[in-house]
Structure 1
Amino acid sequence: MLSLVIAGITLVIVVYLLVKGYYPQAALFIGGLILLTCTWIFGLGDLLPAKQTTHFGGFDIFKVFSTRFATRIGGLGLMLMAIGGFSRYMEYVGASSALFKVFEKPLKKIKNPYLLLGAAFLVEQIMVIFVPSHAGLGLLLMCTLYPILVRSGVSPLSALGVIGCCQFMDVGPGSGNANMAAQVAQMDVSEYFVYYQLPLFIGLVVILTFVQMFVQAWWDKREGWHFDPEHVKTFAGEKSVKEPVDAPRIYAILPIIPLFLIIFFSKVAGSTIRMDVVTAMVISTIIAIIFELIRWRDLRKILGTFKLFFEGMGKILVGVVSLIICGEYFAQGLIKSGAMGTLISAANDAGFGLAAMVVIGGLLLWIMAFIMGSGNAAFFSFAPLVPPIAHAVGAPIVSLIFPLQVLVSFGRVSSPITAALIAISGIAGVSSFQVAKRTCIPMFVATIVTLVAYFMFWY
């Protein structure tokens, strides 16, 4: 009981810090520090196995952190950093913009504004598999898709609502949450993507395409918006976005190469050759460098751009990997203090099964992501707790981690304080709360559809 009281107080402190906008890594680290310190002082459990202990609890509190750091930095951390390095290089050479240009002309031919919105949403969902950053893709779409939409008769808020949902689901081998889920489930990320994420993703995209069209039309009618071709306003005042690099059309294939390598050289394709994510990202970056060498014929300059790959890796280390490690440190505090074990035992005694855990856990993570404005912070702090919960209810880990990983994305996209919504609303000169109104209803629909589909096909 003491462990639950300590955990409850600590959770309130952590949530308060996150809601108030404190650095999330620090908030999660403080939470883990409090829990592990109380575990040591009150003798609630062992902090480390006998082989890893420093033989002094005060040092073991921090050894737990260094152990998690060492474990993650060479596994999932390296994988995510490689993805970040590749994404940074794709941004530099203009490959993501070249990929969008493939869809630009067909979009301009659609005259009905709401059909154009539906088509734009479909294009976004193709791109999200290759540009795995909600804020990054949102900003790219602001300087490419947004002007097309508003000049074609789409209201700015409707355009922002659709762009805000560009990464409504963290999907594909490039997604940090998807990689985390696959690793927790002890699955290859290509199998997790093809057998679990992809079927649900395709179904949701089809449904949400129509939902977006009707919801945005309903909001426009409710708010009395009328298109005035004489006064079309794209960006707010002097605010604008960096123009994408004008790259050759052939560069559109570059963001697709990693996905091809990962899927083609895997069990899914029946190949005896295996391609891990890090290797795929490095190979794809080298191919991009070769493209640049052919284009510019300046060996010194192009080889110098290789540093961008490492800059991208560093950015992910600071932003994402550190968040995973601090989230796991907090989770270790919940586990070591015995709070998690007590809750699992109580759930078992109450007869909670997998279904209850999926619904309760999914809605909890949805709310946490909404409050924090970050799906990563919520998911990374909860994911390490899934294996013992799944074991307690006698279910495969993937059957629990999969719906939770999907549902947390919907909470993030509905939040007015998530980075992508703040960025795109700032560029357009509107409140992020106005944009969040346009994303909430589609995400509520996505939540219901996901739970129904999960219990029909995966439960």
Structure 2
Amino acid sequence: MNPVFPWIGIAVLVLCGWAIVKKYQVNMVLLLGGLLLNALALWGGADIFPKKFNATGLLGFDLVELLRTISVSQVSGVGFLILISGGFAAYMQAIGASDRFVTVCAKPLSLIKNPYIILAAVFIVGHCLGLVITSAAGLAMLMVVTVYPLIIRVGCSPLAAAAVVASVLAIGYAPASGTANFASQLVHLDPIEYLVRYQLPMAVPTILAMALAHVFTQYWFDKKEGKGEVANLGELEQKLEKLEKTPALYAVLPLLPIALLLVFNKFVWGVSMNVATAMFIAWILAFIVDLIVRRQVKESFDLSFAMFKGMGSILTSTVGLIFVAAFFAKGLQNIGIVDLLMGGARSIGLGYEGTSVVLSAIVGVVTVLTGSGVAAFTSLGQLVPDAAQHFGMDGISMMLMMHTASEMLRAMSPVAGVIIIVAGFAKVNPLTMVKRTIIPCLTGYVVMLVSVSLMFG
């Protein structure tokens, strides 16, 4: 291939990045970018089609056939897993189980009376809730209802409380998170193995560092800027009372898939259970529990359909994006950008770890600019297996850095949905909120990079 083509590909990549930052529809940007990259690679003489490819007989149609082939591969693998995870999360929300889970977990926080210690505890507890609740905005608003009045009453600044709540979901955990499942599949790991062997060991020092950074940051800003305006706590307490009317038993239901996967495994019982299977079993068990407790057969049946509605929602929001992101990433590979980047990294002596840090930083920057790391991660994450192969590595640490950056740095973006929502509740400009989240997020990011490098590099 002509050496000019990879540089043309980089121009296309930059153009697509500009379009995403300017809020053009992400799926169409990646689809058109993928078509252009693969067409350029084909024109440059690259063999862009897989070995068992059913050619249509016309090159133009073959490009779309390549998209279809990639989409089928994705939906039958990680795409299906993400569909089930999204459907189960929607069902838990519909029956009130995820809300009740948060209220139960928040109860012990009432024992803490020091305002800044409770901020650290709220951040840690809220982050742990990410094992079950994967929506940053959804989790933040649940915490606003459940713990915000509590931490305000012990003397916390409303702005400090809002900043902590807005940044709690710093890591998206497998098997509940769609992006975590996507990451684990790309590096050929079972989602539970990705969680237990890699995510949790990295998360412990990272989250503790972020919690400590929040304490010092919020204390400093409170001294400098004051406490800000307190929201209507009476209205929040009414919402909390409504949430607590759901039976406490429901708080256990969101944990069923993880419990099934941890208990029924080949090392303990000789049983090998797929994550999607565990989600289906948990859904059926939760439906039976709801049927018994609710005693409204028709209502329980109607609520059970939330599983399928959730799957439809996640198809449009995430799985469809993965289709075009994989097609786009294939174009980046076919036109030689990966080879160019890896060659450049070697020439300046970056090595595997240096390249991993650079790629995670790119994902992080796009996350801050767009308010969402999903598009950046699903596009660039596809490059990890090929990039790691250049260095003779398995790519797990590279994937872990990139995936975590796409989640952790979201709270630094003034255009992120969770920041806009919580800032609106706190009655401040999103930029005011971001001033209080930048230091904890960057602290966590640096600690994460160091932890991953020392543990898995």
Quickly name the TM-score band, shorter chain normalised.
Answer: over 0.9
Unaligned runs of 5+ in 2: none
2:270 aligns to what?
272
1:297 aligns to what?
295
**Within-5 A mapping of 1:78-227:** 78-225=80-227
**Within-5 A mapping of 1:310-325:** 310-325=308-323
Distance 1:241 1:58 in 2: 56
Contact persistence 1:135–1:423 (CA under 8 A): yes
2:355 aligns to what?
357
In the alignment, does 2:29 pair up with 1:27?
Answer: yes
2:422 aligns to what?
424
Contact persistence 1:140–1:244 (CA under 8 A): no
1:233 aligns to what?
231
Distance 2:20 2:448 in 1: 27
Q: Which moved more, 1:146-155 or 1:42-51?
A: 42-51
Distance 2:244 2:38 in 1: 49
Contact persistence 2:364–2:409 (CA under 8 A): yes
TM-score (norm 1): 0.92
1:347 aligns to what?
345
Contact persistence 2:34–2:329 (CA under 8 A): yes
1:149 is displaced (CA, Å) by 2.5
1:445 aligns to what?
443
Contact persistence 1:135–1:420 (CA under 8 A): yes
Q: What letter matches 1:302 in structure 2?
A: S
Secondary structure of the structure 1 residue equivalent to 2:147: helix
In the alignment, does 2:261 pair up with 1:259?
Answer: no
Contact persistence 1:85–1:308 (CA under 8 A): yes
Distance 1:233 1:339 in 2: 51
**Within-5 A mapping of 1:64-79:** 64-79=66-81
Deviations 1:189-214 (A, max 9, x none): 11111111111112222222222111
Cα RMSD, aligned residues only: 2.3
Q: What letter matches 2:368 in structure 1?
A: F
1:17 aligns to what?
19
TM-score (norm 2): 0.93
Distance 1:349 1:193 in 2: 34
**Within-5 A mapping of 1:386-397:** 386-397=384-395
* Paired residues, number: 453
Contact persistence 2:169–2:408 (CA under 8 A): no
2:369 aligns to what?
371
1:241 is displaced (CA, Å) by 8.3
1:406 aligns to what?
404
Unaligned runs of 5+ in 1: none
Distance 1:51 1:73 in 2: 18
1:185 is displaced (CA, Å) by 0.8
Distance 1:339 1:364 in 2: 15
Q: What letter matches 1:266 in structure 2?
A: N
Distance 2:409 2:208 in 1: 20
1:244 is displaced (CA, Å) by 4.0
Distance 2:351 2:410 in 1: 26
1:380 is displaced (CA, Å) by 0.5
1:286 aligns to what?
284
